[in-house]
Amino acid sequence: MNDNQAFFDHINKGYITKGDFITMGAAMYKGETIANAHVKIPLKTLNRHGLIAGATGTGKTKTLQIIAENLSEQGIPVLLMDIKGDLSGIAAASPGHPKINERHEKIGIPFEAKGFPVEILSLSDQDGVRLRATVSEFGPVLLSRILDVTTTQAGIISIIFKYCDDNKLPLLDLKDLKKVLQFATREGKEELEKDYGRISTASTGSILRKIVELEQQGADLFFGEKSFEVQDLCRIDENGRGVINIIRLTDIQDKPKLFSTFMLSLLAEIYSTFPEQGDSGRPELVIFLDEAHLIFKEASNALMGQIESIVKLIRSKGVGLYFVTQNPTDIPDGVLSQLGLKVQHALRAFTAKDRKAIKLTAENYPISEYYDTKEILTSLGIGEALISALDEKGRPTPLAATMLRAPMSRMDILSEQELKDHLKKSKLIPKYNEEIDRESAYELLNDKIEKAEAEEAKVAAKKEREKLDRGSSNSSSRNRRTSATEKAVIKVLTSATFIRGALGVLNKLLK
């Protein structure tokens, strides 16, 4: 048996699967593609999460596109984070190319061009289905972690939520939350401290500053109604294909806090609402997080802990998370250790730091008798990657340098007119894009404050009238006393005794 045949048997034995699977491409050995030595990923293990990594321009986005297309073909919905704005072309069929045909001949898979069912979503004012969530849905614990507040400040946020629940004050958007915080240290200070304990003005001021910081990153567009229902991410089209949901995020690359806020809330909502799936043999939803380092950038320890917990637990809900980034070191160790599928494109060794990163990356992969992992990491071409997956029993598959198949859809974006035409067909835009600003904590507290001020004004007016009335009464009394004195004087002056006395004195003076 020659060396190539031994390698062929090694790959086919390692990637054998009895259930449904997606084919990534064909394994490569000694610089050659071994036709029909197919690298297959069982659907059963795709909720074990994964990593797509590699230097800029090595084909990470196309790998993401390949996996998303094949999942959709299998009737599995997908959610993609489109940070760079280059994924909308999934909705259109590939125009084809001779190089694509050549690649597929080497792999041993026929090429078929087709478009896929796509829903365009947006966190901001960009065109697409608007994604929103209410402050109440976040809850005090998650909101405190996102704002990165102290334990004392987190306690105040819990009190605010409790007060709003007890007094039926809906917390829908950030202006509601700010209004309640201001109310708690001004007009309602006495009321809240009576029932919930002392609230520090300094602490509420610090919380307000954190909220303003979040607002400046565009969170005021995200918080509000109508809340997006995560079940709408799990739609299947009329042909039995899973809908590929693409969130346009090109305008929030410099807003990591908004991105991590959105992602954490989305994952928390999915975890809390999706039923336990157990070992069903296929995922319910697969989420790809492009530019994944943005999730972890500037994240607090508490927030990191929350993300790691959700990554560990959400698998039981049939949800797979796939992190797309340049280097595996961008992903915290606690998350990286949970990732079953690893697709590693080429890395560049320009500096000593790069070489150290390559060495660390190589240690994340199984030892192979056929590859020098550190060497091959720097020699892979565009559209080639090292793959390590899990088989149906959860065991690591053999490491395979793989020539990846080409995407079936367009490897470019939709034109502006194509995008407009596509959005007109959306079934979710009419459901979510109407802006709703119903009566909530902001309006109810303003009304309460106005009524309290009106009542205070009435009390003040009443006191003023009473004061005026007392002044008028005192004046009347004085007038009455003056009149009585005058009468007494007149009486004395006009009496006979007084007249006689006065005349007597006058006669003496004249003598």
Is the residue at 478 inside a domain? no
Q: Which of 168-177, 309-318, 480-489 has the lowest average pLDDT?
A: 480-489
The mean pLDDT of the chain is: 85
How many domains does the structure of the chain reveal? 2
pLDDT in tens, 467-491: 777 766 666 555 555 555 555 545 5
**182 and 311 both lie in a single domain:** no
Shared domain for 273 and 299, answered yes or no, is yes
80 and 214 in one domain? Answer: no
Is residue 59 a part of any domain in this protein? yes
Range of the domain at 206: 135-222+439-445
Q: What pLDDT is stored for residue 155 in this prediction?
A: 92
| End residue of a domain, out of 399, 432, 465 | 432
Which residues, 6 or more positions from 63, have their beta carbon under 8 angstroms from its beta carbon?
52, 343, 345, 385, 404
Residue 458 in any domain: the answer is no
- Residue 501 reports pLDDT greater than 80: no
> Is residue 200 domain-shared with residue 316, that is, in the same domain?
no
Q: Do 304 and 358 belong together in one domain?
A: yes
Considering the domain architecture, whether residues 163 and 231 belong to the same structural domain is answered as no
Predicted TM-score (pTM) of the model is 0.83
Q: Are 395 and 382 contained in the same domain?
A: yes
One domain for residues 86 and 164 = no
Q: How far is CA 179 from CA 151, 281, 360, in A?
A: 21, 48, 50
- Stretch (H or E) spanning 385: strand 384-388
Domain-located, residue 489: no
3-state secondary structure at position 38? strand
pLDDT in tens, 197-215: 888 889 999 999 999 988 8
Q: Is 169 within a domain?
A: yes
Q: What would the mean pLDDT of 101-110 be, rounded to a whole number?
A: 94
In one-letter notation, the amino acid at residue 388 is: S
* 26 found inside a domain: yes
Residue 4's φ and ψ, nearest 5 degrees, are -65, -40
Same domain, 301 and 157: no
> Same structural domain for residues 117 and 158?
no
- The answer to whether residue 25 is domain-embedded is yes
CATH code, domain with 392: 3.40.50.300
Does some domain include residue 451? Answer: no
- Out of 405, 432, 459, a domain closes at 432
Predicted confidence at residue 455, as pLDDT, reads: 66
Burial class (CB in 10 A: 0-12, 13-18, 19+), 301: exposed
Q: Are residues 118 and 142 in the same domain?
A: no
Pair 35, 168 in one domain: no
CB 247 within 8 A of CB 122: yes
Res 440: pLDDT: 72
Look at residue 474 in the predicted model and tell me its pLDDT. Answer: 62
Q: Average the pLDDT over each of 115-129, 215-229, 373-387, 480-494 and give the range with the smallest value.
A: 480-494
Q: What's the angle, vertex CA 217, arms to CA 213 and CA 221, rounded to 5?
A: 110
Q: Would you call 35 helix, strand, or coil by DSSP?
A: strand
Q: Which of 423, 445, 467 is the last residue of a domain?
A: 445
- pLDDT > 70? residue 510: no
